[in-house]
Amino acid sequence: MMKVHDFIVQSNEILNVRNNLIKVSPAKKEALPEMFPGQFVQILVDNSPEVFLRRPISINFIHKKKNEIWLLIQRVGEGTRKICKLKPGEIINLIYPLGNSFTIPSKKGNYLLIGGGVGTAPMLFLGKKMKDNGIKPDFLLGGRSASDILQQADFEKYGTLYCTTEDGTLGEQGYVIDHSILKDKKYDYIFTCGPKPMMVAVAQYANNNEIECEVSLENLMACGFGACLCCTEKTVRGNVCSCTEGPVFNIKELTWLD
Amino acid sequence: MARLNVEIGDLKLKNPVTTASGTFGYGTEYKDFIDLGRLGGIFVKGTTVEPRQGNNYPRMAETPSGMLNSVGLQNKGVDYFVEHLYPIIKEYDTNIIVNVSGSTLEDYILCSEKLANLDKMPAIELNISCPNVKEGGMAFGVSCESAANVTRAVRKVFPKTLIVKLSPNVTNIADIARAVENEGADSVSLVNTFLGMAIDIDKRKPKLSTVTGGLSGPCIKPIAVRMVWEVFNAVKIPIIGMGGISNWQDAIEFILAGARAIQVGTYNFIDPTVSVKIVEGINEYLDRHNIESVDDLVGQIL
């Protein structure tokens, strides 16, 4: 069931030059409904002329005990810049939870969670859910520089962390797709979220090596709940809304590799 | 409590607040957020004879106080609607009105005929104003002659309330309204989106795959209000007003300009509960001003 609710900002932490981590909990004292990795929220910023629409933000983590949703925000435009100026105690309005979920594995196997840039956000939540199922995945996170690899300590709680940076300041130098782990280890399933070129490269690798692969899309959207038909993605079943039938798709459903 | 019910031809609305086609899906998309039974009506997604995949992504660009879209009437076709969607939505405690779109005159006739047979389909909205399809659509709505032709043809096959949705992309919208009134339209709804364009200056490319698209949102409201007022002064049939309505104040403004009912469109995306808030706001306004019925307010600029 989707809801439109006010939330209180509990904290807003600047992680690096581009990213903030904002933790929010419901303004009315009530427990958060169950949410799943891959799902997102639509934040009402200020509905000013320049930020008219809500901003879709992936759920980074759910802290059940504190009743918090964590949102990892990259300041890319006016909307996300305004969100990052929120102060603890301020109220924001969310539509949530939206979208489908990654398929959360329940049996042992070799799982790789690949995140690029702010696309690492849902991977933390997915890693936590996998740990709850007794599975320890590998994480492969990529960024331009060491400071772009966010929440390292959190990721290490749930699995083994591998990194790539374009300048070589952390992990192996290059893009995630160049990392040696992809040559050394045979994976059963890959989950990925990040810039489209990165996800296409990962999808290509998974396809070539006959590995199941799910990607989380970031198509531009207006509503986020299947009414406007703007965030459409071309699939083998025709055009579908990436907000309701996604944002997570198995690459076999997409037409990227055709 | 003021009287909120209004009539559009034979169509009886419990209140003047309806939702605009293309912004409200089939209503089901909003059932988590509001009680659909509180609305005067729901204009469901534009429906065509054949299924349509719509235009390529990107189909949306945010603009100052509004947005451009070029969805292109993505829908599963009228037969799918009749078989799979109608049985679900006919149970809603509100009016369901299909927006009928097409590329040819025959399309409009065929689609309207199929909908005429449905018991709980009291009206259709003839969409001769979609700016996002290559053929037909808006082409029917920009000349008096073609608007009259399609209205006349559909009037013959659709005996219930016929609403014609007008394009604002014309020199004189009142002339078009008169032309469809003369052919037996029971009502006109206006305005559809304005043809617009946005360019990504870094990529030097249009933001929409189709280059141009339809502009909606509060940015178009003053033009829409002016057009409703012009049409109100030109025709006798009731007007359903829309164009950037975001709150009850906007709704009252349209009613004062001459709209008997209103459609809430783009703002549903920002606040999916806004339509119900507008119903409440109109009611409180009428009580505060000691106006017995919302009908008494239509076109009453002092």
Please write the tens of the pLDDT for every residue from B30-50: 999 999 999 999 999 999 999
pLDDT band for A189, please (50, 70, 90 cuts). very high
What tens digit of pLDDT does each residue of B169-197 get? 999 999 999 999 999 999 999 999 999 99
- A233: chain B residues, CB-CB within 8 Å: 57
Question: Same domain for A117 and A212?
Answer: yes
Number of H helices, E strands in chain A: 5, 15
Q: Is residue A133 part of a domain?
A: yes
Q: What is the mean pLDDT of chain A?
A: 97
Q: And the tokens for B168?
A: 């604002």
- For B233-241, what is the mean pLDDT? 98
Question: What's the pLDDT band for A172 if we cut at 50, 70, 90?
Answer: very high
**pLDDT tops 80 at residue A251:** yes
Q: Give the distance, in angstroms, between the CA of residue A89 and the centroid of all CA atoms in the same chain.
A: 25
Tokens, residue A78: 């006016």
**pLDDT tier at B224 (50, 70, 90 boundaries)?**
very high
**Contact status of B211 with chain A (Cβ, < 8 Å):** no
Pairing state between β B259-264 and B17-19: parallel
pLDDT(B134) > 80: no
Listed by number, the residues of chain B in 258-277 with a beta carbon closer than 8 Å to a beta carbon of chain A are 266, 268-273
Examine the fold and report which residue of A52, A70, A98 is the final residue of a domain before the chain moves on: A98
Among chain B residues, CA nearest to A54 = B270
Residue A212 and residue A119 share a domain: yes
Cβ-Cβ contacts under 8 Å, B33 against chain A: 2-4
Report yes or no: A219 and A229 within 8 Å, Cβ to Cβ: no
B60 touches chain A (CB under 8 A): yes
| CB-based contact A227 B23, cutoff 8 Å | yes
On whether residue A60 sits in a domain, the answer given is yes
Nearest Cα residue to B94 out of B275, B244, B265, B269: B275
Q: Any CB–CB contact under 8 A between B22 and chain A? A: yes
Q: A115 and A212 share a domain?
A: yes
A18-40 tens-digit pLDDT: 999 999 999 998 999 999 999 99
Classify A129 in phi/psi space as left (phi over 0), alpha (psi -120 to 50) or beta. Answer: alpha
Chain A interface, mutation test: which of B21, B29, B268, most A Cβ atoms within 10 Å?
A: B29
Q: How confident is the model at residue A258 (pLDDT cuts 50, 70, 90)?
A: confident
Domains of chain B: 6-297 (3.20.20.70)
> Given the structure tokens 């005990």, which residue do they identify?
A65
Asked if the Cβ–Cβ distance from A229 to B217 is below 8 Å, we say: no
Percent residues over pLDDT 70 in chain B? 99
For chain A, what is the domain count? Answer: 2
pLDDT in tens, A195-239: 999 999 999 999 999 999 999 999 999 999 999 999 999 999 999
Is B67–A227 a contact, with Cβ atoms under 8 angstroms apart? no
What confidence score (pLDDT) does residue B136 get?
A: 67
Contact B272 A220 (CB under 8 A): no
Say if A190 falls within a structural domain.
yes
Residue B1 confidence (pLDDT): 80
What stretch of H or E contains B151? Answer: helix B144-157
Q: Residues A207, A116: one domain?
A: yes
Which residues on neighbouring strands pair with residue B196, listed in sequence order?
B213
* CATH code for position A118: 3.40.50.80
Mean pLDDT for B213-233 is: 98
Instruction: Tell whether A69 and A164 lie within a shared domain.
Output: no
Do the Cβ atoms of A52 and B54 come within 8 Å? Answer: no
- Residues of chain A positioned with their CB less than 8 A from the CB of B74: 229, 232, 239
Single residue among A98, A125, A152 that ends a domain in this structure? A98
My answer on whether A142 and A203 are in the same domain is yes
Alpha helix segments (H runs only) across B184-264: 221-232, 248-257
Test A222 with B56 for CB contact under 8 angstroms: no
Whether the CB-CB separation of B69 and B214 falls below 8 Å is answered with: yes
* Residue A170 in domain: yes
On the question of pLDDT at B135 being above 70, the answer is: no
A92: domain CATH number is 2.40.30.10
Partners of residue B26 in chain A, C-beta under 8 Å: none
- Residues in B closer than 8 angstroms to A234, CB to CB, are 56-57
* Positive/negative CA dihedral, A202, A206, A211, A213: positive
Distance CA B36, CA B30 (A): 8
Per-residue pLDDT band for A93 (boundaries 50, 70, 90) equals: very high
Q: Give the residue from A63, A98, A133 where a domain finishes.
A: A98
Q: Where are the extended beta strands (E) located within B66-201?
A: 66-69, 95-100, 123-127, 161-165, 187-190, 194-197, 199-200
Distance, in Å, from the CA atom of B61 to the CA atom of B45, rounded to the nearest integer, reads 20
Residue B137 has pLDDT above 80, yes or no: no
Kindly report the average pLDDT of chain B as a whole number.
96
Do the domain assignments include residue A252?
no
Assigned domain for A227 exists: no
CA of A20, closest CA in chain B: separation in Å? 24
Which of A52, A232, A238 has the CB atom closest to B217's CB atom? A52
**β-bridge pairing A91-98 and A40-44:** antiparallel
| DSSP 8-state code for residue B81 | I
Q: From residue B64, give the alpha-carbon distance in Å to each of A51, A52, A148, B178, B282.
A: 8, 7, 32, 33, 27
A-chain residues near B271 (CB < 8 A): 4, 44
Q: What's the rounded Cα separation, in Å, for the pair A186 and A199?
A: 19
Nearest of A162, A175, A213 to residue A191 by alpha carbon: A213
Express each pLDDT in A97-149 by its tens digit.
999 999 999 999 999 999 999 999 999 999 999 999 999 999 999 999 999 99
Beta bridge partners, A142, equal: A116, A164
Q: Which residues of A80-119 are buried (b: 16+ CB within 10 A; e: fewer)?
A: bebbbebeeeeebbbbbbbbbbbbbbeeeeebbbbbbbbb
Strand ranges inside chain A, DSSP E: 3-14, 19-26, 40-44, 55-63, 68-74, 91-98, 111-116, 138-143, 160-165, 172-173, 189-193, 212-216, 232-235, 238-241, 248-250
For the whole model, what pTM was predicted? 0.96
Does residue A80 sit within a domain?
yes
Determine if residue A117 is left, alpha or beta; phi over 0 gives left, psi from -120 to 50 gives alpha, anything else beta: left
User: Are both A135 and A82 inside the same structural domain?
Assistant: no
Residues of B noted as catalytic: 130
A118 and A83 part of one domain: no
A150 shares a domain with A91: no
- The three-class DSSP label of residue B59 is coil
Interface contact flag, B53 A238, Cβ < 8 Å: yes
CB-CB contact of B97 with B42 (8 Å): yes
pLDDT over 80 (residue B132): no
A118 and A84 co-located in one domain: no
Q: Do A94 and A131 fall within a single domain?
A: no
* One domain for residues A77 and A129: no
Instruction: Quote the domain boundaries for residue A56.
Output: 3-98
In the numeric block, the tokens 């005929």 are attached to B113
Give domain status of residue A226, yes or no.
no
Phi/psi of residue B276, nearest 5 degrees: -70, -35
